Amino acid sequence: MVEVSRPHELIQLCELLDQRFQTHITGTGNDDTARQRNYYSKALAAYYLTQATNASIEEAVAASIDGGDDHGIDSVFIDPTETIWLIQSKYIDSGKGEPALGDVNKFESGVRDLLNQQYSRFNQTLQHKIPALNTTFDTGIAKVKAVLVYTGNALSDDRRRMMGDLENSFNSAGEPNFLHFTNAGLATFDDFQISEIQPNPITAEIELENFGCINQPYVAYYGTVSGQQLKALKEQYGNQLFDANIRQFKGDTLVNRDIAQTIQQEPEHFFYFNNGVTFLCDSFDVIGRRDENRNQGRFRFHGLSVINGAQTVSSLTNATATDGEAPSKILATIVSLDGAPNNFGQHITRYRNHQNAITDIDFAALDENQQQWAQTLQQAGITYRYKGGKADQQDFDVEMAARALACWVREDWSSLVSLAKKNIKRLFDRKLNGEENSSNYSRIFKSSLQARQLWRTVQVVEQVRSQLRWDAHQDSGEQQEILRHCSLLTAHILLIRFDTIDHDELHLSAAHQQTLSEMIGEISTQIVEEYDKLQWNKNPRAVFENSTDLQTLKTAVMTALNRG
């Protein structure tokens, strides 16, 4: 039986817990496995408290009452707002599932007894906290949060119902918000880690001239903004300014050269030639003096991001880098998402960008999965660029990802591999026969795909491509052409014959790379031999771009390899 690998999010979480708590927490138990699980359970509770309450590591560790007679409560912490946090923590080493029903039942019973101040039922560690607990209960403003933290991915209705009944029983006596139950699974802890490496949302002041306002159904301001303000925003925040956009600055394109030329030669005409810039923000404040004629207004926008106009802002900044004159008037629209429905910002981004030359590959940036894969990998120091545009540094981009994943597909694979060879952008088609679920994009970028699987697949395919480029360079004639064009079929066959994707490690080990190198040589040699046996009447490139030819050749190669 093949052992199921742990989610990479859990692997990263354990690494973080070790870094922060290994010198502060000691696990207990009868054997190494039990001690390790106990250690991670304690560390998990402590990490949650540092994130949810801003407790220090020392305070979070000291909150633990885990041990005999803990009555299902692993940590007790009182924060400065007189909120008592009661934590049950369960480390699940598969990264899946939920705490046992009996454990949750014990937690429910422990919370009930603690709120009834039945302290004698608890261990000595809890006894030391009694004075602080009683003082907090006596303030008249005390609140209690009962939190189930675990490294799983589910929580069944029976567990939720149990804690909901407990909430209702304590909140019905004139204190409607006294007790609140919540749970934090692996996804929550992944969000905690991601938030630690993400920059703070942009809060910036912008001055609009001749502005107007739309109040219903959602607030939006429009007017003119100076180029100097846009330049200052870009210089201060860099590409973070475009985080909500579907692509970053695309570099030295014809359109961007035209923008730069207008700025440098005809800045007074820029307003007339340019579509302007669209921003989204989470909320805003009107600041400074109020102008009843709306000739000028100052606003402080929170969570600000450019969602249309990245090329304009970046081209303007580059064109005026050495004391150039920035255009004095640029049309700007700022839409506030305060009160707007979920995903409304994505809809604005999509439709505002339809006016430009946007392809399906650009809309991959709106896929929440892409953002999550990138953020998960970023925690491990791997840069995945899933937005189109010019990249300064990256480990791989969305096209490399699509090419690799196309090779990993098992069913109806040949159409994807042929597209990856002849027109990779077709892999981003959003619909196939009118159905999004059967699109090329959805077939390769599955929601169930893990970030680790994505990166390992890319590493395998890129090693195949690199090795065969070198082999082709050493050869000549038709064999050279075959080696030059057979890399994706080689990668597809290799991924079938060698299970190297579902491993805990993020990077390919040296042993795996060596095995891959040997298999690449074996498979490519067999492809050349079988290719020579068949009559194609076309050049090698055409063969490896043809779906039917790929199936014919794969069948012959697999038969030969299995026979050997």
Q: What are phi and psi of 302, to 5 degrees?
A: -105, 135
pLDDT of residue 429: 79
In sequence order, the 6+-apart residues with CB closer than 8 A to the CB of 103 are 72, 88, 90
Q: What is the dihedral of CA 459, 461, 466, 468, to 10 degrees?
A: 150
- Whole-model pTM? 0.60
Q: What is the mean pLDDT of residues 82-98?
A: 93
Predicted local confidence at residue 354, as pLDDT: 55
CA distance 385 to 395: 8
Q: How confident is the model at residue 348 (pLDDT cuts 50, 70, 90)?
A: confident
What's the longest Cα–Cα distance across the chain?
Answer: 90
Q: Amino acid identity of 268?
A: E
Question: How far is Cα 508 from Cα 49, in angstroms, rounded to an integer?
Answer: 35
Report how far residue 53's alpha carbon sits from residue 79's, in angstroms, rounded to the nearest whole number. Answer: 7
Q: How confident is the model at residue 363 (pLDDT cuts 50, 70, 90)?
A: low
Residue 361 confidence class, pLDDT cut points 50, 70, 90: low
pLDDT given at position 105 = 95
- SS3 state at 338: coil
Q: Write out the two tokens for 319.
A: 């064109």
Of residues 266 and 495, more confidence is placed in 495
Whether the predicted pLDDT of 2 surpasses 60: no
Percent of the chain past pLDDT 70, that is, above it, reads 89
In sequence order, the 6+-apart residues with CB closer than 8 A to the CB of 247 are 310, 362, 365, 387, 388, 389
204-233 CB burial, b ≥16 within 10 A, e <16: bebbbbebeeeeeeebbbbbbbbbebbbeb
Neighbours of 375 (CB within 10 A): 18
C-beta of residue 182 within 8 angstroms of C-beta of residue 145: yes
- The CB-side HSE value for 132 (13 A sphere, CA atoms) comes to 15
Question: Over 106-120, what HEC string results?
Answer: HHHHHHHHHHCCCHH
Most confident option among 130-134, 446-450, 535-539: 130-134
pLDDT over threshold 60, residue 392 = no
DSSP 94-148: TS-S---HHHHHHHHHHHHHHHTT-GGGS-HHHHTTHHHHHHHHTTS--EEEEEE
Residue 108 has pLDDT above 90, yes or no: yes
Mean predicted confidence (pLDDT) in 258-281: 80
Which tens digit of pLDDT belongs to each residue from 423-457? 888 888 765 544 444 588 888 988 778 888 899 99
Cα–Cα distance, 294 to 296 (Å, whole number)? 5
3-state secondary structure 376-418: HHHHCCCCEECCECCCCCCCEEHHHHHHHHHHHCCCCHHHHHH
- Non-local (6+) Cβ contacts of 341 within 8 A are none
How confident is residue 38, by pLDDT bands cut at 50, 70 and 90?
A: very high
227-240 pLDDT tens trace? 889 989 988 988 88
248 pLDDT above the threshold of 80: no
Q: Shortest CA distance to 485 belongs to which of 405, 546, 551?
A: 546
Quote the mean pLDDT of the chain: 86
Q: Average of pLDDT values for 55-82?
A: 94
Residue 33's pLDDT is 93
Per-residue pLDDT at 496:
93
Q: What is the mean pLDDT of residues 287-292?
A: 87
- Name which of 465, 463, 464, 457 is nearest 501 in CA terms: 457
Query: What angle, 0 to 180 degrees and rounded to 10, lies between the N-to-C axes of helices 186-197 and 8-21?
Result: 70
Is the confidence at residue 253, as pLDDT, over 60? Answer: no
pLDDT band at 356 (very low <50, low <70, confident <90, very high): very low
* CA pseudo-torsion sign 204, 209, 215, 220: negative
Separation between Cα atoms, residue 298 and residue 217, nearest integer Å: 22
Mean pLDDT of 500-529: 92
Query: Helices (DSSP H) in 198-243: which residue ranges?
Result: 227-237
Between CA 490 and CA 493 the distance in angstroms is: 5
Q: What is the band of 507 on the pLDDT scale with cuts at 50, 70, 90?
A: very high
